[in-house]
Structure 1
């Protein structure tokens, strides 16, 4: 989870809404901000014009079943949502995840502005572990994964204020992040 770990350590250091997308998120892996992106071409600037309607979870298309690397297709006919959106694509079983629990997750990340896959634990064949709600990952994950069940697949559409904020690690400033996450392991509730 190259991107998630690096982003998490930046979040702890930077207090801004940092995004932990590297597998091993220690303070020694803090990422340097990326260089400013080149000025958009006229066609790119035209594509960035607001459409006037915020997208919903149903506007974002995904393929693949739990355990399979998903594809994520972001629409061109609506604007990125301004609030966190979650949608269970596969329900899962057992207890829902709670703050403080250690989860093991697989994920694929697509950035809204360029509609390109930026990172995927599926590609590395190794899930990412985190303690939910502990600030090890971006707030969009800490909030958006609450209640996910083992074997569940969830779509997360994360606005910039709950993501990586000012950018870095290949993520542009004010970027909306789209994840498909698979809950590989969620502890069973003993109560």
Structure 2
């Protein structure tokens, strides 16, 4: 039969638990950044000119002026009064726009993980961090845009269908 030596457990002194957690965190960081690697990747947004009011959500559509550059400074894309549904752009662009306000101008750094990752896209090489200057001109919800489209369609139907002058009974229909 094996003999077991018993060692009584001592209560943890006050404040020791905090020191224990700090020690574990220090070991994890020293072991090659295990804790750092687990942190979520984010975008860096710097305000060049503040805007005002609400910020768009992932369900909105934004109207922006923008210029995108690669790490070497080469411009890969730019546009004025460009329309972007936030749910249809790279995740980093969405996250950046959600931090902006109408009328503001911003410099945005998007890590490759939140851009195109390990896939090349047009002039953008794989694993490229992207930098943008973005001016948020305006944004609307999808519901607002759909309502405006319905109103425009109704107006066009009225003009084409004889609801306007020149569409009198017996007149030839417009092609």
The alignment's TM-score, normalised by the length of structure 2, stands at 0.53
Is 1:156 aligned with 2:108?
A: yes
Contact 2:66 2:134 in 1 (8 A): yes
Contact 1:111 1:118 in 2 (8 A): yes
Q: After superposition, what is the alpha-carbon deviation per residue over 1:96-128, rounded to whole angstroms, capped at 9, x for unaligned?
A: 22221121011001101x22111111xxxx321
**Pairing 1:90-109 to 2, within 5 Å after superposition:** 90-109=49-68
Counterparts of 1:148 and 1:167 in 2: how far apart (Å)?
27
Larger Rg: 2
Instruction: Choose from 65, 72, 85 the match for 2:44.
Output: 85
Residue matched to 2:76: 118
Which 5+ residue runs of structure 1 have no aligned equivalent? 1-81
Contact 1:149 1:186 in 2 (8 A): no
Deviation at 1:94? 1.9
Q: Which structure: greater helix fraction?
A: 2
Which 5+ residue runs of structure 2 have no aligned equivalent? 1-40, 142-175
The alignment's TM-score, normalised by the length of structure 1, stands at 0.49
Residue matched to 1:141: 93
Q: After superposition, what is the alpha-carbon deviation per residue over 1:41-78, rounded to whole angstroms, capped at 9, x for unaligned?
A: xxxxxxxxxxxxxxxxxxxxxxxxxxxxxxxxxxxxxx
Deviation at 1:147? 3.1
Residue matched to 1:51: none
- The number of residues matched between the two structures is 100
